[in-house]
Homo-oligomer: A and B are copies of this chain.
């Protein structure tokens, strides 16, 4: 699979020596934090600082800004896509909703990142494929079971949910209420209520 190749390729860039690997991982963790807080425009020196690592080390591991973006992004995608597997035994609609809730958590901080990468990045395309491979069957299953409206594409659903959740909700109850409205719209007309 082309997508697996791409993701594996990024993964394979991890260094082998113990200290180097530690730094690499610390950098990705720090980048997740910093990008989450400051968006894609965040300072790389801040990332290095927070990782407890010299700026030189950052640039050796990630020569271009985009390389760091990609590595962070791939890390997230791997986790999300893996999480689709353990939903197979749930009822179709529940499985879809549960996965979308995880998707929401994933997309929350990664918005800015995605927008940065969306411009011609092979890796980004692979990640999309990966996510779609994980989530699309869940939607199809719900549609085949008559639980979800048949005219919605998976891409529609992704945009529906991820957009809503990108906003900060100070009140969790409201977040659920809004998501519920959206999901009601996604339900199959005959089935809803």
Contact = CB atoms under 8 A, between A and B. Distances in A.
A19 interface: no
A110 interface: no
Given A41-B39, A184-B185, A185-B181, A159 B152 contact: no
A164 interface: yes
Interface in A139-185: 149, 151-153, 155-156, 159-160, 162-169, 174, 177-178, 180-185
Interface residues of A, number: 33
A119 to B, nearest CB: 11
A96 B36 CA distance: 34
Contact of A156 (B152, B156, B177): B177
B189 A174 contact: no
Contact of A160 (B151, B152, B162, B164): B164
B193 A174 contact: no
A166 B107 CA distance: 14
A132 to B, nearest CB: 15
A186 interface: yes
B152 A163 contact: no
A60 to B, nearest CB: 27
Interface of A: 39, 41, 115, 149, 151-153, 155-156, 159-160, 162-169, 174, 177-178, 180-187, 189, 192-193
Given A149-B181, A160-B178, A183-B185, 17 more contacts: A39-B41, A151-B177, A156-B178, A156-B181, A159-B167, A159-B169, A160-B182, A163-B163, A163-B164, A163-B167, A163-B178, A166-B166, A184-B184, A185-B185, A185-B187, A189-B192, A189-B193
8 A-B pairs closest in CB distance: A185-B185, A184-B185, A163-B164, A163-B163, A181-B185, A189-B193, A163-B167, A156-B178
